[in-house]
Chains A and B, each alone.
Chain A
């Protein structure tokens, strides 16, 4: 056994047993963040706070929700919304946060693409981030099943049918996933399990990996400058705070981070109290009916761009295009052949590529919401083809990029 001495204070007692001071240094006061950053660097903390909001509101919803095809709809729309004091608050927080979390994820992702934060040792940050995007998508989808309204049922039907993989006709696999010929009790109960246990566990594990992936390469900065963190932190600790290019995570960076979080939370709760309707589809206020498809099925806004890539093609080609869209972002660190890790604005053709991709995804999102008719079908098809062409062209665009 190690040698312990009589503690001189509570802190000393804890230090001897848990090394709290050391942990605090490693995690916060001597975890170094570049000074040359802007408010977009706060999106990680905004996401962490939003995840916490989802977790807390979810815990309260879980106490009244019934994962049973007969009771689910009423447990949400009657018990939680009308009987439970402040039940509406948890539901609106949960629904709004589930939608807003994707807005912030997209901002976080495009910030990373713009500043080249997936290169030169930061590949694992990008990959773990994209894995988080995939698990958040699965989490959002499984949660969408739970109120067991018309949109829940038909989204469940359409999305599980994707696993028959078109021309391969793997109907057995689809029935295995559902535990029935159509989405029914077995389906609802297993998606409930995925939503409240397995996927949140996976998300928490991946968040740990995402943070761990940041430690060695450190956070990127506005100029993509390679900073000698050892030298700069020594300068800071020696007292030259102004001359050093880095600052402490806590409280230097955190104070500014939480300022952004504060502004975000005001916006967030404005949505929760006054604009919650955007996160609640009116069609989902009809109980699930397996014999009646709603007139127009569309996913939540954050899935529209990939849905629109599936939609304009015949089934096999559509599935291939959809699969392409799901994995291609993951490969970004290798499709971008240029060694330049600087903002897109200094990378010539890449800047054009970046803005075209962003505009294309906004067009796809808009078209995905509209009925697949006439002009909208054509624009959707062109935008879907443009998405594929942009990604295929990326290695050629970046290969000949001049050293920035």
Chain B
């Protein structure tokens, strides 16, 4: 009895030491897999919004992801529905569709069909219209909009400006 209680104490003491070590190791292992500071610091891109031609899809790059920039034509602007207007990004007099060019299903890049003014994802057949809304599942929601901030004719991707914050708060984008 005397012996077993002594062994019991030794077992518990070792358990306590090992427990601290396990928790510490797990924290270190988790943090080691986090994105590096250099990766996080490189997460900003500035776009000059005056250079885009109307009605043509241009793909920019931000955090390694494609960013769709589509300057809307007068015809598109006139035909916008209420929900499409909420996704509209206005810089100066120009209206843009700005979006992360990855299908919201599993992240393939949908191709743009200029004649049909729509996007088709080849991976699982999802479709989006020119305003970025889903027209055919599986994608669960419209294109995500990257955090942006408008400064004059420039747009900074990676920083959340008031226009972006409003979209986020109203649930237009995640």
A: residues with CB less than 8 A from B are 154, 157-158, 161-162, 166-167, 169, 171, 175-182, 184, 186, 190, 290-297, 311, 313-316, 318, 371-373, 377
Contact = CB atoms under 8 A, between A and B. Distances in A.
B66 interface: yes
Contacts of A175: 35
Given A181-B65, A290-B61, A294-B122, 9 more contacts: A181-B35, A291-B66, A295-B111, A297-B108, A311-B125, A315-B137, A371-B122, A372-B125, A377-B125
A180 B138 CA distance: 25
A166 B34 contact: no
B138 A297 contact: no
Per CB-CB distance, the 7 closest pairs between chain A and chain B, nearest first, are A182-B64, A372-B125, A293-B109, A181-B63, A315-B140, A161-B107, A158-B106
27 contacts: A157-B107, A158-B106, A158-B108, A158-B123, A171-B174, A176-B30, A176-B33, A179-B36, A179-B39, A180-B35, A181-B43, A181-B65, A182-B63, A182-B64, A184-B39, A186-B35, A186-B36, A290-B65, A291-B59, A291-B61, A293-B123, A297-B108, A315-B104, A315-B138, A316-B140, A371-B125, A372-B125
Given A158-B108, A180-B39, A169 B174 contact: yes
Contacts of A316: 140
A179 B124 CA distance: 26
Nearest to B105: A315
B35 A158 contact: no
B132 interface: no
Contacts of A169: 174
Nearest to A373: B125
Contacts of B63: 181-182
Contacts of A186: 35-36, 39
A184 B33 contact: no
A186 B66 CA distance: 19
A176 B39 CA distance: 12
Given A158-B106, A292-B109, A313 B35 contact: no
Contact of B35 (A179, A314, A315): A179
B122 to A, nearest CB: 5
A314 B140 contact: yes
B147 interface: no
Contacts of A311: 124-125, 138
Nearest to B137: A314
B108 A314 contact: no
B61 A293 contact: no
Contacts of A297: 108, 122-123
A293 B112 CA distance: 12
Contact of A179 (B34, B107, B137): B34
Nearest to B43: A181
Given A290-B65, A311-B124, A176 B34 contact: yes
